[in-house]
Chains A and B, each alone.
Chain A
Amino acid sequence: MIGRRWYTPWLFLAPSLVLLGVFMWWPVLNTSVLAFTDTHTLRGGGFVGLDNFRTLLQDSFFWNALGNSALFTVLVTPALMVLPLLLAILVSAKLKGMTFFRVVFFSPVVASMVVAALIWGWLLRSDGLLNFVLERLHLINEPVRWLSDPSLVMISVALVTTWKGLGYYMVIYIAGLQNIPEDLYEAAAIDGAGPLRRFWSITVPLIRPTMLLVGTLVTLNAIKVFTEAFVLTGGGPNRASETLVLYIYQRGFSGLELGYSSAMSLVLFLVVLGLTLLSQAATRRRANP
């Protein structure tokens, strides 16, 4: 009790609060206000009520971009929930040299997304390595147009994100796996359970909270995808890979329509908020069945 002042906890919180306030809450608040104006970056603007949102409903490019972001999320989320788990199980095996593989699998995380996208841009070309390998394996007869076929570009973008994210989520899974008591596996083995059975009956149920966490993180990041699409295809061909953030960027920074792009950002914010709440509800339900 000695020397305790009411403000002591606030002093400890202050650094984070200031950072969050300046770089998160203030911009969010500001965006929410701008969304109801027709602000132009240089000219300023005035209050226009719900006009931006009405325009947005009619804006086919907005829906196209939202659809692309959603498609991307649907592609990336399952991949990044399952594949890193398998990798984590592999590198958790008590074999010599596994540290090496952990490092290898983690290394893409450290690379910048721009660099990763540039490299994948080369790999995915019609005369690139991927097509070369597929052709040599006689899996395809002619090169797949990963980056120019409108029906494939989002898959290509998702591929890059998945590759780059594997290591990061693998680390989270490794941590999760270490929390599973070893004796459960031993007991199951004594009962005659094979590796698959042990995986389904022990690993999967016990890793589920981690999977939910990973799923949430992946989804939230995926819905905001920008760099991969920007570098790989610039949103083309004909907006087939134009994601929502790409479109917001274009309207906001090229068209200088700060009000309208704020309105779209607000919609994106609400989508992210909704997904967060949904996943929290799911987590809670798991925790207290």
Chain B
Amino acid sequence: MTRSVTWRRLALSLSMLVLLAACGTGGEPDTDDAEPDVDDTEDVDEDADDPDGEDADDADGEDAIDDEDTELSGEITFTTLQLSPDFDEYLEGVIADFEAEHPEVEVQWTDLPFEGAQERLLADASAGTLADVVNLNPDLAFPLASEGEFVDLDDAGADVRDDYVEGAWDSFRYPGMDGAYGYPWYLSTEVTMYNTALLEEAGLDADDAPETFDELFDTARAVAENTDARGMHPALENRFVIDLVKLGVDITDEDATQATFNTPEAVAHVEELVSLYEDGAVSPDAVTEGHRQEIEAYQAGNIALFPSGPNFLNIIEENAPDIAETTQAAPQIEGPAGVTGMSVMGLMVPESTENPDAAHAFAQYMTNEENQLAFAEETLIFPSIVAALEDPMFTEPDEDGDFAEAISVAAAQLPDAANLRPVVVDDEVNNAIISNVQSAMLGDMTPEDALADAEDEVDAILERRTE
């Protein structure tokens, strides 16, 4: 039983991993009590600016509900990504509540396992049979969105837009297109988790977590030199492109027609990776490994630093309680670009829907403050509603210890976070880039040549796509 739960959790986390993008710390996230106060003040200010603010809000809400009450009817279909069976109860509850509010509407929910989801959605889209509300992340939605499959929510969702975290809303904007195409749903954001025991063994101050790339690499080297463990795992497939963005490198031009990542900053970063590899600060196997092996290595105590979503703490605690015990969380590693990354899940409404009113109402309902807070109670994810992130659940988490720390660190950095992984970097583009970086790390190519080759390969892919 426990094992199957663990595996399901792992599967869930792996699926969340796909949406795990992003890094860079937007300033010092104030994890302490200062922030909620500030935010509270802002709320008050907003209300003050808007005389009778509350009433106005209510009125908006009533209008919407009135519309819905009188007009919403019929059946809508809803697909989610890898949320069943873990969250059956929660999702069925929200659906039941929605149906209770709108007795004429019936919601048919289907969950798609992450594996094969894209294939299925592409087939549905080309057959014109997408669900009325579709759960996707920005990357998975990109091919469909760029074919105009989804409704622009800058228009259709204008009245609720300001409720959402701006960076999350913007993560559904696509190169060469106007508009935003997804209601942000649940979020995750990378924090720097680290093994305090290993840091101490390496003679470092365990409370002084690395905050910049230089500090991260120095810590990794110190751990490798002074302990039996490695410092970190590069998880190229998952992190390389995002790290470049944090370092201020543009992956492509604005229209995503040409690669632009072969810059001195990028070369310096690859050189750094090569030297970490040569110094033994990363494992020799790491070159072809991804995030899965990174989690394994951290759980086994083989690496000291683990920048990743706090949702992985669940897995660590279950599989390696002693490591979880010694784990602390610090804000995301910051690059010169000063941006913080996050991963976003969203709900899209396809143009092909025959019941747009009910579809939008349901998508907004699913992602509203109350329902997202309830979702966050279920698991370690974060709501995309600004007000929900100010809930004491995040600002002053009850739990003692590291989860609480990770939760407040993550929640504090989310309002200013963005989806840093350019949507154009799908598996094929990512593979073209990291394949060459792998060669550089193995010393088969110079960093300059690797990046030049990678850029050529990406250019070829982009050219094919814009043909």
Contact = CB atoms under 8 A, between A and B. Distances in A.
Given A42-B122, A236-B288, A148 B442 contact: yes
Contact of B143 (A42, A236, A238): A42
B58 interface: no
B428 A250 contact: yes
Contacts of A153: 288
Contacts of B398: none
Contact of A237 (B143, B149, B288, B461): B288
A126 B283 contact: yes
Contacts of A239: 435
A42 B126 contact: yes
Nearest to B123: A41
Contacts of A256: 122, 143
How many B residues touch the partner, as a band?
35 or more
A236 B285 contact: no
A127 B282 CA distance: 13
A255 B439 contact: no
A253 B428 CA distance: 9
Interface in B423-450: 426-428, 431, 434-436, 438-439, 441-442, 444
How many A residues touch the partner, as a band?
20 to 34
Interface in B100-143: 118-119, 122, 125-126, 143
A263 interface: no
A143 B293 CA distance: 18
B284 A41 contact: no
A169 to B, nearest CB: 29
B147 A148 contact: no
B126 A236 contact: no
B465 interface: yes
A224 B126 CA distance: 28
A143 B284 CA distance: 10
Contact of A250 (B119, B149, B431): B431
A235 B119 CA distance: 20
Interface in B354-389: none
A264 interface: no
Contact of B442 (A126, A127, A237): A237
B325 interface: no
A147 interface: yes
Contacts of B293: 121
A257 interface: yes
Given A237-B288, A250-B427, A254-B427, A42 B444 contact: no
B428 A255 contact: yes
Nearest to B284: A126
A148 B290 CA distance: 13
A198 interface: no
B303 to A, nearest CB: 12
Contact of A255 (B118, B237, B441, B464): B464
B287 interface: yes
Interface in A210-259: 232-239, 250-251, 253-257
Nearest to B434: A236
Contacts of B427: 250, 254
A233 B428 contact: no
B144 interface: yes
A235 B444 CA distance: 17
Given A42-B147, A257-B464, A238 B438 contact: yes
Contacts of A102: none
B444 A150 contact: yes
Most chain A beta-carbon contacts within 10 A, residue among B237, B442, B464: B442
Nearest to A125: B285
A178 to B, nearest CB: 40
Interface of B: 118-119, 122, 125-126, 143-144, 147, 149, 237, 283-290, 293, 302, 426-428, 431, 434-436, 438-439, 441-442, 444, 461, 464-465
29 contacts: A42-B122, A42-B126, A42-B147, A42-B149, A121-B293, A126-B283, A126-B285, A127-B302, A145-B284, A145-B285, A147-B285, A148-B284, A148-B285, A148-B287, A149-B442, A150-B442, A153-B288, A237-B288, A237-B435, A237-B438, A238-B438, A238-B442, A250-B427, A251-B428, A254-B426, A254-B428, A255-B464, A255-B465, A257-B464
The list of the 6 closest CB pairs from A to B, nearest first, reads A254-B428, A237-B438, A236-B288, A254-B427, A238-B439, A148-B287
Given A237-B441, A253-B119, 4 more contacts: A42-B122, A44-B126, A234-B288, A254-B426
